Amino acid sequence: MPKARWFLLLLLAALLLDHHAVRLILALTVGQRGLGQAWAEAFAGFTLDRYLFFTLFRFFPYGMLALAVLRMARTPWRAAMLPVLLGGLVAIAAFLAWGIWEALLPIYTGEHPETTPALALLFLSVGAVPVGALGALAGYWAMLVRNSWSRHRT
């Protein structure tokens, strides 16, 4: 699969990864619901305006990453744009998925949640910015290692 398709697939997954998708997975795995019941639970309160509201918050770390990568396009670092972007996307998506999972897990385990899950969902996006920066650095480091290995093989 070409790099552009991998990137678009990853971007689409990151954009669709919201609390409804994670709740669906939680209902299927932890709650051991059937697909129909899990779908009904996960999307019971779904409205387009609520989805767009939370998407605006989820967009914040992705937007910061996009600004950083676009800034790289005008510098000698432009060769590292794709690894930095992929590393950042993976880190942000993984952090948001983990955070949403942890915020919603008490619903299915019977534990008392420490905070309101809605507040956690809002503040996760702020915490995803430094995680995305670390992922971007990891992508850059992986590019350096790959280039170093390819130089030593020849």
- 1 pLDDT higher than 60: no
Q: Nearest Cα to 86, choosing from 17, 15, 137, 144?
A: 137
Task: Parse the chain into domains and list their residue ranges.
Answer: 3-18+48-153
Say which range, 5-9, 21-25, 41-45, 103-107, has the weakest mean pLDDT: 5-9
- 133 pLDDT higher than 70: yes
For 100-122, write each residue's pLDDT tens digit: 898 888 888 887 766 677 677 77
**Hunting for tokens 């992986």 — which residue is that?**
142
Q: Nearest Cα to 88, choosing from 27, 152, 35, 11?
A: 11
Contact between 42 and 20 (Cβ < 8 Å): yes
For 45-102, write each residue's pLDDT tens digit: 888 888 888 888 888 898 899 888 888 888 888 888 889 998 999 999 999 999 989 8
Residue 106: Cβ within 10 Å count: 13
Secondary structure of residue 64 in the 3-state scheme: helix
**Hunting for tokens 């967009």 — which residue is that?**
59
pTM of the entire structure?
Answer: 0.83
| 19 or 130, higher pLDDT | 130
**Hunting for tokens 């939370």 — which residue is that?**
54
